[in-house]
């Protein structure tokens, strides 16, 4: 049903924007909004050309309220610049008229089936390997529960009490949670100063690494870190004009995360699932090594099992992480495209009280195949990198310098490819979460986004990434100090005492706990930032209509937001 054929107004419904259950409106509402802004009505406008991503039958053609693309350049001509007047804002193109797809499409089902097959295989290996690991641990604990003192033949027990373990975990977790809450408050209330401080914090860290490398007389590494520090410091003058935009994005993302705090629980739940899988995976790996040893099988069998288990580990964790990302992005898109700002108020009303749950449901059903597909590609590259790393280590042990160099080059290339694809996938999954596309469709539109908004996107990611990276580092340091303080105040840790090795181990474990806890907040903020940028880049007019105050603040700090992807021919 075309937009002009709609006769009855319909209420907004929650779901995909452009797919599953779309944002609804009525022509009278749109006409009234644009008449108030002295804009022509939809039925008086010419249509855009048949351009991606609106060429799909799933989308209605957006309609053009102004002249073709050449007119976009008028406010930015040289003559306008010489008049001394500020650049006028371009008209924002109208939103894509929404439709409803009552029966959502399950995309990339084959990837879901393949993922299920591999996970079934992992369950089979776990059933075989985990019991053998548990048996080995029981046998080892029985044999070593009372080791003999070499001096006097006395026996003693080495272990930790529940109070020691519980106290250490409580100190680390309490410090990590408290700092995460405090840092969230700082990002919400002082985003601008925090962005600037984190930027120069990275400059200082680079300079500190350069100084340390100079101290240990590693002059090449010293020069590299010093060069990075200088380039990072100089580049600040080139990107400082982008800070106001990143500031309001960070503030808005924190505000939405605080309101839709289900996203934090989704991230926490996903990380718990991933941690539990890692424990089972490690037990499976140790058990299969024991099984191969007992069966006297060739070493090649163990290598094959190791590579297979490494691939399964990569794929499962990638799927969990990308499912979290998709659920959070879908939640933010619902807020931007379906949340309605009340008149003369900053209050945003949503059509559902279960926004995050519905977004998670879509990520685990209709979009799950696309998530498995993209995760499969990254996992394959990371597995090949692991194989190259094993080959490098074997060549180094055998003294084969040529093979070691070749394997190192392959490892470096594959690491770069994995990181690039991982970054690209972040925006492909954002497209999937918002519009319900398949992985290939989402990847195509993500590529178009990089082509036309890539510089803005990368700078925004870098600035906000510095804030999150600094928070993760400080969280790890504070939790490590909390663990150190706990052991110091107790005078030692159980029968292990208080030697330097005990302090080092406690600080390392506590730092890991701190980083793990902050990662929950980091995942939500990072995903929310990606969703915010995609929504602004691809459909600024809908945000302008739904949340005019937020859009006005964006427009004042980043006028190019008017140049949405709708107004650019692909």
CA gap 487, 503 in Å, rounded? 7
Q: Is 478 helix (H, G, I), strand (E, B) or coil?
A: helix
In this prediction, residue 207 has a pLDDT band, given cuts at 50, 70 and 90, of: very high
In this prediction, residue 35 has a pLDDT band, given cuts at 50, 70 and 90, of: very low
Q: What is the pLDDT of residues 172-190, one digit of tens each?
A: 888 988 999 999 999 988 9
Host H or E run for residue 73: none
Does residue 74 register a pLDDT over 90?
Answer: no
Q: Contact at 8 Å (CB) between 499 and 487?
A: no
Average pLDDT, the chain: 76
Give pLDDT, residue 342.
Answer: 75
In this prediction, residue 361 has a pLDDT band, given cuts at 50, 70 and 90, of: very high
Percent of the chain residues past pLDDT 70, beyond the cut: 74
Query: Which two structure tokens, joined as six digits, stand for 145?
Result: 């529960």
CA distances from 36 to 29, 33, 98, 216, 279 (A): 11, 5, 21, 68, 60
Q: Contact at 8 Å (CB) between 58 and 100?
A: no
More reliable by pLDDT, 31 or 450: 450
CA gap 75, 80 in Å, rounded? 6
Percent of the chain residues past pLDDT 90, beyond the cut: 32
Does residue 75 register a pLDDT over 60?
Answer: no
Counting Cα atoms < 13 Å in the Cβ hemisphere of 486 gives 28
In this prediction, residue 161 has a pLDDT band, given cuts at 50, 70 and 90, of: low
Give pLDDT, residue 562.
Answer: 55
Give pLDDT, residue 448.
Answer: 87
Q: How many CB atoms lie within 10 A of CB 316?
A: 21
Give pLDDT, residue 37.
Answer: 41
Of 30, 6, 5, 20, nearest to 100 by C-alpha is: 20
CA distances from 479 to 95, 476, 514, 557 (A): 47, 5, 5, 37
CA gap 94, 38 in Å, rounded? 13
Give pLDDT, residue 140.
Answer: 55
φ/ψ of residue 154, rounded to 5: -75, 155
Give pLDDT, residue 38.
Answer: 39
Of 200, 273, 290, nearest to 470 by C-alpha is: 200
More reliable by pLDDT, 313 or 169: 313
Does residue 437 register a pLDDT over 60?
Answer: yes
Of 366, 337, 379, 329, nearest to 523 by C-alpha is: 329
Looking up tokens 């806890």 gives: 517
Of 476, 514, 517, 509, nearest to 164 by C-alpha is: 509
More reliable by pLDDT, 168 or 440: 440
Least confident interval from 101-115, 140-154, 367-381, 440-454: 140-154
Of 238, 402, 266, nearest to 322 by C-alpha is: 266
Does residue 225 register a pLDDT over 70?
Answer: yes
Mean pLDDT to the nearest integer, 551-557: 81
Q: Is 321 helix (H, G, I), strand (E, B) or coil?
A: helix
Contacts of 102 (CB under 8 A, 6+ apart): none
pTM of the model: 0.76
CA distances from 538 to 177, 230, 318 (A): 36, 36, 26
More reliable by pLDDT, 297 or 119: 119
Choose the most confident range, by mean pLDDT, from 15-19, 29-33, 169-173, 527-531: 527-531
Of 44, 20, 42, 46, nearest to 31 by C-alpha is: 42
More reliable by pLDDT, 98 or 138: 138
Q: What is the pLDDT of residues 271-325, one digit of tens each?
A: 899 889 988 998 899 889 888 888 888 888 889 999 999 999 999 999 999 999 9
In this prediction, residue 421 has a pLDDT band, given cuts at 50, 70 and 90, of: very high
Looking up tokens 């178009």 gives: 448
CA gap 529, 520 in Å, rounded? 15
Does residue 66 register a pLDDT over 50?
Answer: no
Mean pLDDT to the nearest integer, 506-532: 89
CA gap 292, 301 in Å, rounded? 8
Mean pLDDT to the nearest integer, 50-60: 36
Contacts of 537 (CB under 8 A, 6+ apart): 449, 452, 453, 457, 564, 565
φ/ψ of residue 148, rounded to 5: -90, 135
Give pLDDT, residue 561.
Answer: 57
Give pLDDT, residue 258.
Answer: 87
Q: How many CB atoms lie within 10 A of CB 143?
A: 9
Q: How many CB atoms lie within 10 A of CB 364?
A: 13
First to last CA, the chain: 26
Does residue 548 register a pLDDT over 80?
Answer: yes
Does residue 50 register a pLDDT over 60?
Answer: no
CA gap 475, 418 in Å, rounded? 27
Give pLDDT, residue 62.
Answer: 33
Give pLDDT, residue 566.
Answer: 46
In this prediction, residue 348 has a pLDDT band, given cuts at 50, 70 and 90, of: confident
Taking each helix axis as running N to C, give the angle between helix 500-538 and helix 243-259, from 0 to 180 degrees, rounded to the nearest 10: 100
CA gap 202, 208 in Å, rounded? 10
CA distances from 205 to 179, 235, 430, 464 (A): 21, 16, 32, 17
Give pLDDT, residue 58.
Answer: 38
Does residue 101 register a pLDDT over 70?
Answer: no
Does residue 344 register a pLDDT over 80?
Answer: no
Q: Contact at 8 Å (CB) between 354 and 34?
A: no
Does residue 120 register a pLDDT over 90?
Answer: yes
Give pLDDT, residue 98.
Answer: 45
Q: What is the pLDDT of residues 460-503, one digit of tens each?
A: 888 898 999 999 999 999 999 998 898 888 877 766 777 788 88
In this prediction, residue 435 has a pLDDT band, given cuts at 50, 70 and 90, of: confident
Q: What is the pLDDT of residues 392-417, one digit of tens each?
A: 988 888 888 899 999 999 999 999 99
């Amino acid at each position: 049903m075309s937009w002009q054929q709609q006769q009855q107004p319909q209420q907004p419904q929650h779901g995909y924007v452009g797919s599953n259950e779309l944002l609804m409106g009525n022509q009278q509402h749109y006409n009234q909004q644009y008449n108030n802004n002295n804009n022509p009505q939809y039925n008086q406008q010419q249509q855009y050309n048949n351009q991606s991503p609106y060429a799909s039958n799933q989308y209605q053609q957006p309609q053009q309220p102004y002249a073709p693309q050449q007119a976009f350049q008028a406010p930015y001509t040289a003559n306008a610049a010489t008049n001394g007047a500020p650049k006028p804002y371009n008209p924002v193109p109208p939103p894509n008229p929404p439709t409803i797809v009552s029966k959502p499409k399950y995309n990339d089902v084959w990837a879901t089936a393949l993922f299920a097959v591999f996970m079934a295989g992992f369950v089979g290996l776990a059933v075989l390997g985990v019991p053998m690991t548990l048996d080995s641990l029981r046998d080892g604990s029985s044999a070593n529960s009372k080791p003999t003192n070499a001096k006097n033949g006395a026996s003693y027990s080495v272990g930790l009490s529940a109070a020691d373990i519980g106290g250490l975990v409580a100190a680390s977790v309490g410090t990590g949670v408290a700092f995460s809450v405090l840092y969230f408050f700082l990002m919400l209330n002082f985003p601008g100063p925090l962005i600037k401080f984190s930027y120069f914090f990275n400059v200082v860290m680079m300079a500190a690494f350069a100084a340390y490398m100079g101290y240990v007389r590693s002059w090449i590494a010293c020069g590299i870190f010093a060069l990075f520090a200088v380039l990072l410091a100089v580049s600040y003058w080139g990107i400082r004009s982008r800070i106001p935009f990143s500031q309001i994005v960070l503030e808005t993302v924190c505000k939405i995360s605080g309101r839709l705090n289900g996203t934090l629980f989704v991230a926490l739940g996903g990380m718990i699932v991933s941690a539990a899988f890692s424990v089972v995976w490690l037990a499976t790996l140790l058990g299969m090594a024991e099984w191969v040893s007992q069966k006297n099988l060739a070493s090649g069998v163990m290598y094959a099992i190791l590579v297979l288990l490494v691939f399964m580990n990569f794929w499962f964790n990638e799927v969990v992480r990308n499912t979290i990302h998709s659920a959070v992005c879908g939640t933010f898109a619902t807020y931007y495209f379906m949340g309605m700002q009340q008149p003369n108020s900053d209050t945003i009303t949503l059509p559902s009280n279960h926004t995050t749950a519905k977004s998670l449901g879509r990520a685990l059903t209709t979009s799950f195949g696309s998530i498995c597909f993209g995760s499969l590609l990254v996992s394959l590259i990371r597995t090949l990198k692991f194989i190259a790393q094993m080959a490098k280590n074997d060549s180094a042990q055998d003294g084969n310098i040529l093979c070691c160099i070749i394997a190192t080059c392959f490892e470096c290339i594959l690491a770069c490819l994995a990181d690039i694809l991982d970054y690209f996938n972040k925006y492909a999954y954002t497209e999937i979460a918002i519009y319900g596309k398949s992985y290939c469709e989402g990847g195509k539109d993500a590529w178009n986004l990089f082509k036309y908004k890539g510089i803005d996107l990368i700078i925004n990611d870098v600035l906000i990434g510095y804030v999150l990276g600094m928070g993760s580092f400080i969280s790890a340091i504070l939790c490590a100090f909390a663990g150190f303080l706990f052991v110091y105040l107790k005078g030692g840790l159980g029968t292990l005492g208080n030697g330097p090795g005990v302090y080092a181990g406690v600080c390392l474990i506590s730092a890991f706990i701190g980083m793990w806890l902050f990662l929950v907040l980091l995942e939500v903020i990072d995903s929310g930032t990606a969703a915010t940028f995609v929504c602004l880049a691809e459909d600024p007019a809908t945000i302008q209509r739904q949340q005019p105050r937020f859009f006005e603040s964006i427009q004042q700090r980043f006028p190019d937001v008017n140049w949405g992807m709708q107004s650019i021919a692909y």
